[in-house]
Structure 1
Amino acid sequence: MGRHSLPDEAGADAPGPRPRTRGRTVAVATALVLTVAAGTAAAVRGDLLSFGDSCRDEAVELDVVAAPDIAPALRAAADDAREKEVTSDGSCIDVRVTARDSYKVADELRTGQGDAGYDVWVPDSELWLQRVGPGSMQNKVSPAGNIASSPVGMAMVPSAAESLGWPEKTYDWLELTGAAMKSDKLRLGAADPARSATGLLALAKLSTAAGKPGGKGGDTRAAEMAKALSSRTSDSDSRLVDTVARDASGTEKGKPRRNQALILSEQAAYKHNASAGEENSLDMFYPKDGSPRLDYPYTLVREDELSTDQSRAALRFMTLFSDDEGRAILAEHGFRTGTEAPSAKLVTAAGGRTPQPYTAEASEPPGEKELQETLGMWTITVQSARLSTVVDVSDSMGAFVPGQNRSRMEVTKSSLLRALAGFTDEDEIGLWEFATFLDGERDYRELVPTRRLGDRKGDGTQRDRVSEAFSDLAPIPGGATGLYDTTLAAYEEATSTYASGKFNALVVLTDGVNQDPGSISRRSLVSRLENLSDPKRPVPLIAIAVGPDADKEEVVQIAEATGGSGHQVDDPAQIHAVILKAIMEAGSHG
């Protein structure tokens, strides 16, 4: 099946996870996981692997945390397995399912906060596994296969769908979103891409359609689209569905104007239509350039700490969804199963009709870099950003990048100009440069004050001034890296001019270590940054070490003193993606 994932919120009817019981620890080899998922599932289902005939022995307990949309189906399967005394190695399996938003679980696993307390995680999309990342050694996640899928499209109240020619007329993502956002007559809602895989997959698709990264006007157009969507964004998919209009006009006395179109999964539309009645049902558009899909990866959590019994019971439970009965349970809850064409009954119930391309192959899921850029763009677009940028102009920035006929400075400027294109006129950007004794005794110099990009002065805008200043950056012959004094001065300025309601950050780019013997020490710098940092007025420092001569450990230590992050890139062309990744991570904790 295709791969995807969703958010995880605690279900009101679900008890909390049981204390995690661990027996003999053993790592389940990846090969075994894949083999059971793909080949030996039939043997497992048939109890050919030492399964007993009864539940005389104590049941194997298994705690599963799942995305809220699929949790009811998993609970139904768990109840069915309990009733039929399904066994694993002769012992019954006792599965308890808790619904939680996937973004919360992903952040919990990524940061390693506390004991996970569950053995299996079923988010709505593989995107959340990418969020956890391979570096999360405290809470390792091991996907064993995908148990269901649901395409993402655009659901509309019938009057709105009819106005756009549904179901005969088909649109690609950009056309459909553009038609829905053309005027306030057709109000489009979406779930927050930072918290919803549905929202993130759609925004990534729209960003790609708006223009290739770095293409003329592409990044700016994507940011403008995100800004428009953000005005009608809900915290979660369930809350988004609650915003849909209940009549043709979308107006209800004494209440805000409701949405007439929603970016929604097929399963969410199916669930809504099942209880809404014909008058309040939704019609479903499937964009012709491909619908990304939620793919519900069945994931073992910290598998090296699971006992053999728990590991095998977890895989046993997964195989139930390859059986006819398990697939029927998923279908009853509005999910697609297998790779064959979806049933007409399911699609019709979700609001789909021919000739909408609902049987088309799922579009390729976005890569990790694309996701980072999309989320970074969303963070700075929705909140509006205030970024003070500080760039190293020491002599070493003139060194050539290996494999390229361009210097570090030239590539850095190109990356900064590309990043600038992704900001809207509401964002505030400024620029400092630094090298030793750049301005008398000072190692730094302000080139452009941090102001709103749309502000006009004379014949140009702030964006024009920043763009020109980026383009004019040049290495200072003989200049060394005055990193410490510059960082302190820039951070003092950024915190003293904090803009409430915006994402505030200081970005420092350097290709070396501090080379000013007369500056403060690193220990003193870290201490003073910690004193200046205020959690109520956060200004994370995003420090980027460029090239092999820079010290990543140094920039990490300095940045973390402010709640920010340090990074190292071998190629300055990576700066744009790193800035967006850092903004996304910092913004998710804001």
Structure 2
Amino acid sequence: MVRMQPSTDTAGIRTRAAARAQQRRRRSIILLSITGALVVALVVVLSVVFIRGAAGESGQPQEPAVAGDCLPASLDITADPVVAGALEAIVADMAGDRSDCPETTITTEDSAVTAAALAQGTALEFDVWVPDSSMWPARVSSQRELAGADAPELIVSDPIASTPVVFAATDPTARALGAEAGFASLAQGAVAAVLPDPSSASASAAALLALQTAVGGDARAFTGLVLGLDAEAVVPTTGDALAAASAAASPTVAITTEQALYADSDAAPLVPIYPVDVKPTVTVSLVTVADAAGDTLEAVDALTAAVADASDLLAEHGLRSASGAALTDGGSAPDAVTEPTDGANHAEALRTWEILTAPSRMLALNDVSGSMAQPATADMSRIDLFEQAAVRAIDSMSDESSLAIWVFSSRRNGGEDWQEIVPFGSLGDPAHKQLTIDTANSLDRFVGGGTGLYDSVLAAVKYMRETYVPGQVNLVLLNTDGYNEEDDGLDLPGLLAELEKLRDPSKPVAVIAIGYGPDTDQAALEEIAAATDGAAYQALQPTDIGTVLVDATTQRGCRPDCG
């Protein structure tokens, strides 16, 4: 017996999906007559894992399920809407006309919602989780490790289904792009793209990794592409992306999956374009816990075998089998689209996206020691050049970011080497942004004294840790032209030891250090940056100051591996 348990957040999705499924069932007679001779049933017989308790018994291999077979035990399944309909059909097909089968309850819930709950250590309310991508369990594991949440270990099966990432486009756009469309086309700006929010759309995370591959793994180039996206290029849902591509006046593609385009085939006249360079796909797996009961594992094995033998039912719901065989023999749909598929890599691409697009919370720690007054060019001092570069850097930051300005030299504020000049405020506030620009333009009035570097760095990192704001990139931007000249304070080993004590991977505060000119103790800056998982830059020539400062401000997502 199959019982579908609706999720409060996805009732509308399931209602529409059910209506479309009913329409597709009527069309599937023709479709299956074409595909029946081409799609070979894949039967994977897994060894049954019996109860490993006190009895210590070993079982026999589970035979593939056929019509009239029941799952050997009841299952509570939480499945993404993408795959829930197919699972329902497969379980119902197994039981056939029998009414005495153990009850299988399938609850639909978006994968991102389930993943967020599991990452926070929420108690499991299901036996099996079926997300729409293997990215989600990998994301749960990484987030749970950072948060230190106490939760059971997740076991991810081999893929049971798949769907390739495609560009959804109108016929005119598809014809204009021709046969050479790929992720390199997106990187080169040959066509506009609309991306569903990667935080909730697994296809977008896979596409981000493909885009990074298309630019040769160049983290700096990838970062520039992400930061250069228009506000309208990222939309909340896949449906929004498909609607935008359908209505666009200029050639535009929506990043989605073949399955999602199939599911919305009645809503928008779009066709899939299969990328010719990088060919990403998302894979569906069954997720259980390491200490699941033996009868649950036996039922999962039986379900796995049934799914492997139900490529026709998967196809009816727009999903390919795990092997990646195309749904039909027509058009340009390729078989075995299988790269890249690793869920951990997709999860890492999502993490990078979130870092890049999260608002910055930056404390600018600026050296105003006497050496900053030294000439840098025929008519400008070091501080003059820095002021100009600082204004450019401020203008490069988004309105969602916040900024504070400190200055430091030796004993400038009582017994302290550092002084707050501008407190934190949003750059979306015109008054605060103007205050930071005006202050950056007048830093020369603070110049004087020695370089109290180490104590100032520690004070800045401590302040950022004490006032840490989750969901933002909390960092210290250190600008200096010299080396530590404070004999009464911390030395470098002492600073590094204190920074190590403050390290907390769940609340990272990176120091991005920029040394100006040949007199900088660049080796010390590199050690400071490494101790905080930051990065160190150097501007050897006066003309480098502006380029380096803006680069350090914007290239935060790829640090410390920007290349």
How would you bin the TM-score normalised by the shorter chain? Answer: 0.5 to 0.7
Q: Distance in 2 between matches of 1:343 and 1:66?
A: 22
Q: What value does the CA root-mean-square deviation take over the aligned residues? A: 5.2
In structure 2, what residue type is equivalent to 1:116?
Answer: L
Q: Distance in 1 between matches of 2:341 and 2:225?
A: 22
What is the Cα deviation at residue 263 of structure 1? 1.0
- 1:95 matched to 2:112: no
Which of these residues, 190, 208, 215, is aligned with residue 179 of structure 1? 190
Which of these residues, 326, 330, 335, is aligned with residue 314 of structure 2? 330
Check conservation: 2:169, 2:253, Cα contact below 8 A: yes
Partner residue of 1:190? 195
Q: Distance in 2 between matches of 1:258 and 1:97?
A: 42
Check conservation: 1:67, 1:124, Cα contact below 8 A: yes
Q: Distance in 1 between matches of 2:163 and 2:260?
A: 9
Partner residue of 2:340? 363
What is the Cα deviation at residue 204 of structure 1? 3.0
Partner residue of 1:222? 226
Check conservation: 1:436, 1:443, Cα contact below 8 A: yes
Which of these residues, 525, 536, 550, is aligned with residue 499 of structure 2? 550
In structure 1, what residue type is equivalent to 2:47?
Answer: T
Q: Secondary structure at the match of 1:152?
A: strand
Q: Secondary structure at the match of 2:81?
A: coil
Q: Distance in 1 between matches of 2:453 and 2:233?
A: 53
Which of these residues, 114, 130, 134, is aligned with residue 105 of structure 1? 114
In structure 2, what residue type is equivalent to 1:285?
Answer: I
Partner residue of 1:123? 131
Partner residue of 2:234? 233
Check conservation: 1:292, 1:364, Cα contact below 8 A: yes
Partner residue of 1:262? 254
Which of these residues, 346, 353, 375, is aligned with residue 354 of structure 2? 375
In structure 1, what residue type is equivalent to 2:183?
Answer: W
- In 2 relative to 1, CA 197–340 (structure 1 residues): closer, same or farther, beyond 3 Å? closer
* Structure ID, larger Rg: 2
What is the Cα deviation at residue 61 of structure 1? 2.1
Partner residue of 1:314? 300
Q: How does 1:56-455 map to 2 (within 5 A)?
A: 60-83=73-96, 92-113=101-122, 115-133=123-141, 135=145, 136-165=149-178, 169-176=179-186, 178-181=189-192, 188-210=193-215, 212-215=217-220, 218-224=222-228, 227-228=229-230, 230-243=231-244, 245=246, 250=247, 261-273=253-265, 275=266, 280-300=268-288, 302-304=289-291, 306-323=292-309, 326-339=310-323, 341-345=325-329, 348=330, 353-354=331-332, 361-363=338-340, 365=342, 366=345, 369-377=348-356, 379-380=357-358, 385-389=359-363, 432=406, 437=411, 439-445=413-419
In structure 1, what residue type is equivalent to 2:162?
Answer: S
Q: Distance in 2 between matches of 1:108 and 1:546?
A: 38
What is the Cα deviation at residue 65 of structure 1? 1.2
Check conservation: 2:362, 2:477, Cα contact below 8 A: no
- In 2 relative to 1, CA 481–173 (structure 1 residues): closer, same or farther, beyond 3 Å? same
- In 2 relative to 1, CA 548–223 (structure 1 residues): closer, same or farther, beyond 3 Å? same
What is the Cα deviation at residue 142 of structure 1? 1.0
Check conservation: 1:191, 1:263, Cα contact below 8 A: yes
Deviations 1:83-111 (A, max 9, x none): 3659xxxx944322122111111110001
What is the Cα deviation at residue 340 of structure 1? 5.9
What is the Cα deviation at residue 362 of structure 1? 2.2
Q: Distance in 1 between matches of 2:320 and 2:495?
A: 46
Partner residue of 1:521? none
What is the Cα deviation at residue 260 of structure 1? 5.4
- In 2 relative to 1, CA 478–209 (structure 1 residues): closer, same or farther, beyond 3 Å? closer
Partner residue of 2:374? none
- In 2 relative to 1, CA 449–203 (structure 1 residues): closer, same or farther, beyond 3 Å? farther
TM-score, scaled relative to structure 2: 0.60
Deviations 1:351-395 (A, max 9, x none): xx33x7665542364365444222311x23xxxx342236699xx
Q: Secondary structure at the match of 1:334?
A: coil
- In 2 relative to 1, CA 452–46 (structure 1 residues): closer, same or farther, beyond 3 Å? closer
- In 2 relative to 1, CA 173–546 (structure 1 residues): closer, same or farther, beyond 3 Å? farther
Q: How does 1:498-513 map to 2 (within 5 A)?
A: 506-508=474-476
- 1:10 matched to 2:3: no
What is the Cα deviation at residue 119 of structure 1? 1.2
Check conservation: 1:120, 1:299, Cα contact below 8 A: yes
Check conservation: 1:172, 1:287, Cα contact below 8 A: yes
In structure 2, what residue type is equivalent to 1:102?
Answer: S
Which of these residues, 45, 48, 51, is aligned with residue 63 of structure 2? 45
Deviations 1:431-468 (A, max 9, x none): 54679946442342458987869x9xxxxx97xx89x9
TM-score, scaled relative to structure 1: 0.57
In structure 1, what residue type is equivalent to 2:111?
Answer: S
